[in-house]
């Protein structure tokens, strides 16, 4: 009797098996939906370095970074371990290979079972990228501690040689599609730095990640991957109930900054103490009391947009993740409707533009940050309701509200007209008159059309005048 082939069921078995694994979350590294990525494609595609199989070698720049990866991998494997344990890199590499190969099924489950690589090839990617990422995170932690100062040890480093590359790398390793399972990092780290504790209680790698991104170190072992750990470092998961997590995403604040000020609300920043030019801090503690809306300062850096967008993408990819970053983005979307609001919030130092973005770029950032999101939590529902209903004293309403609101409305309408005019002009130039000669031809045709209309008009007027004159003369003679 011929034995039936069940090889097609292997991916299903892999996925089911991962649910019983304490250190792995199935489908935790996924492709960002088109609804979220369409506004800013470059925020989700690595520019400088790829981690994992999803973007490996997809562009020339990513291919060029494969060689420095091997250099970083060698440095990591040659690091001195604890106590007298100081094995050769080759021995450590073989041990890493044996351990990672055992994890191939759960690694595949982390990518939803969609990765087509052979087990040995997938294990190779995990070892090379995992060792590279660990060495990079260790160096980034030291770089952040030194406040980004150039040191002699980084002068020949192809990745940390200048701030521009550091920013690119920081952006790349925080992208949802550019992750590897955290358990891989733990396994590799334990082969170089031996420890007798069980792997799920080992918080050393998690604290390396926290140090690299400027978060406080705590005794917590981490999450599904680096981006998940960043989310855990800023959002308390146990503070959200399931009903709040599943709330439909919508803009709850109906009044922008100008309208709030016109209604008697005082907007003021809450200072956040010390800061680093490469560390993004999102403080969600927005308060409204006694007509004062206090918003922690939001420092917009060169890494802010990529990090914020990918944290939102992570929140939208898992039903059990609290959507704090999404709700935060929706609050700012309601607070800002035009450049006038941007100017006010910059003046009040609620927004600090460290990336030197134009007002148009900032407006686009806040308008599109939450686009495509379907779920949010109830973090700001109560505050938004109070702000929507707040009315200041009547004397302020009469004397101050109307001039500010009228000026704000006029600016808003003008910006909308300018926006659509700019779009129309770009489409016209791109699709209809892409060359100078076509542009001249269009101008000539328009001029000819105008002259023809004018000639027709004046001819008609002349004929009408002649007819009127002759008619008037005949009547007079008859009389």
When comparing pLDDT for 263 and 457, which is higher? 263
pLDDT of residue 271: 83
pLDDT of residue 238: 54
> Each residue of 359-399: pLDDT tens digit?
999 999 999 999 999 999 999 999 999 999 998 754 344 34
**What's the average model confidence in pLDDT over 348-352?**
95
Dihedral sign, CA of 78, 81, 86, 89?
negative
- Percent of residues, the chain, with pLDDT higher than 70: 76
**What's the average model confidence in pLDDT over 402-426?**
61
pLDDT of residue 425: 64
Buried b (16+ CB within 10 A) or exposed e, 357-389: beeeebbebbebbbbbbebbbbbbeebbeebee
pLDDT band at residue 432 using 50, 70 and 90 as cut-offs? low
- Is 70 exceeded by the pLDDT of residue 279? yes
Rounded to an integer, what is the distance from CA 381 to the centroid of its chain?
Answer: 23
Please give the Cα distance from 320 to 245 (Å, whole number): 7
229: CB partners within 8 A, 6+ apart: 182, 206, 209, 210, 222, 223
- Is 80 exceeded by the pLDDT of residue 158? yes
pLDDT of residue 410: 66
- Is 60 exceeded by the pLDDT of residue 458? yes
**What's the average model confidence in pLDDT over 183-188?**
94
Please give the Cα distance from 29 to 54 (Å, whole number): 9
Please give the Cα distance from 314 to 237 (Å, whole number): 14
Q: Which two tokens stand for residue 359?
A: 């007002």
Per mean pLDDT, which range of 167-171, 243-247, 446-450 is the poorest?
A: 243-247
- Is 50 exceeded by the pLDDT of residue 306? yes
Rounded to an integer, what is the distance from CA 270 to the centroid of its chain?
Answer: 23
pLDDT band at residue 460 using 50, 70 and 90 as cut-offs? confident
> Each residue of 56-112: pLDDT tens digit?
888 888 998 899 999 999 999 998 754 445 567 788 899 999 999 999 988 988 998
CB atoms within 10 A of CB 12: 11
């Amino acid at each position: 009797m011929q034995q039936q082939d069940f090889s097609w069921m292997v991916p299903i078995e892999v996925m089911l098996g991962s649910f019983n694994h304490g250190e792995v979350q199935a489908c935790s590294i996924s492709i960002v939906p088109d609804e979220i990525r369409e506004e800013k494609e470059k925020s989700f595609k690595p520019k400088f370095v790829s981690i994992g199989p999803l973007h490996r070698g997809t562009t020339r720049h990513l291919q060029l970074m494969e060689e420095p990866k091997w250099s970083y991998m060698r440095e990591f494997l040659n690091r001195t371990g604890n106590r007298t344990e100081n094995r050769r890199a080759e021995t450590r590499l073989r041990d890493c290979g044996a351990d990672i190969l055992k994890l191939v099924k759960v690694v595949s489950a982390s990518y939803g079972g969609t990765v087509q690589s052979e087990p040995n090839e997938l294990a190779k990617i995990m070892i090379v990228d995992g060792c590279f990422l660990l060495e990079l995170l260790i160096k980034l932690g030291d770089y952040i501690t030194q406040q980004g100062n150039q040191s002699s040890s980084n002068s020949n480093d192809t990745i940390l040689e200048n701030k521009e590359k550091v920013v690119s790398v920081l952006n790349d390793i925080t992208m949802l599609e550019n992750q590897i399972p955290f358990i891989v990092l733990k396994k590799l780290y334990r082969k170089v730095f031996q420890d007798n504790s069980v792997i799920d209680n080992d918080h050393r790698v998690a604290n390396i990640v926290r140090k690299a991104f400027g978060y406080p170190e705590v005794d917590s072992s981490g999450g599904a991957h680096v981006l998940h750990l960043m989310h855990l470092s800023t959002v308390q998961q146990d503070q959200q109930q399931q009903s709040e997590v599943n709330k439909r995403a919508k803009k709850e604040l109906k009044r922008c900054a100008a309208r709030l000020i016109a209604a008697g609300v005082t907007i003021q920043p809450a200072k956040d103490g010390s800061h680093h030019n490469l560390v993004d801090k999102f403080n969600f503690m927005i308060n409204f009391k006694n007509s004062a809306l206090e918003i922690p300062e939001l420092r917009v850096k060169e890494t802010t947009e990529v990090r914020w967008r990918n944290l939102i993408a992570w929140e939208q990819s898992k039903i059990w993740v609290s959507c704090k970053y999404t709700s935060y983005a929706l609050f700012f979307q309601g607070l800002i409707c035009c450049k006038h609001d941007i100017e006010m919030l910059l003046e009040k130092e609620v927004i600090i533009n460290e990336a030197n973005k134009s007002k148009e770029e900032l407006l686009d950032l806040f308008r599109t940050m939450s686009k495509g999101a379907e779920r949010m939590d109830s973090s700001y529902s109560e505050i938004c309701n109070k702000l929507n209903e707040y009315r200041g004293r009547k004397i302020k309403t009469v004397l101050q509200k109307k001039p500010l609101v009228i000026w704000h409305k006029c600016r808003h309408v003008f910006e909308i007209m300018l926006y659509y005019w700019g779009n129309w002009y770009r489409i016209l130039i791109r699709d209809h008159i892409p060359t100078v000669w076509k542009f001249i031809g269009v101008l000539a045709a328009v001029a000819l059309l105008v002259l023809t209309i004018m000639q027709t008009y004046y001819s008609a007027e002349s004929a009408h005048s002649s007819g009127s004159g002759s008619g008037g003369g005949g009547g007079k003679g008859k009389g």
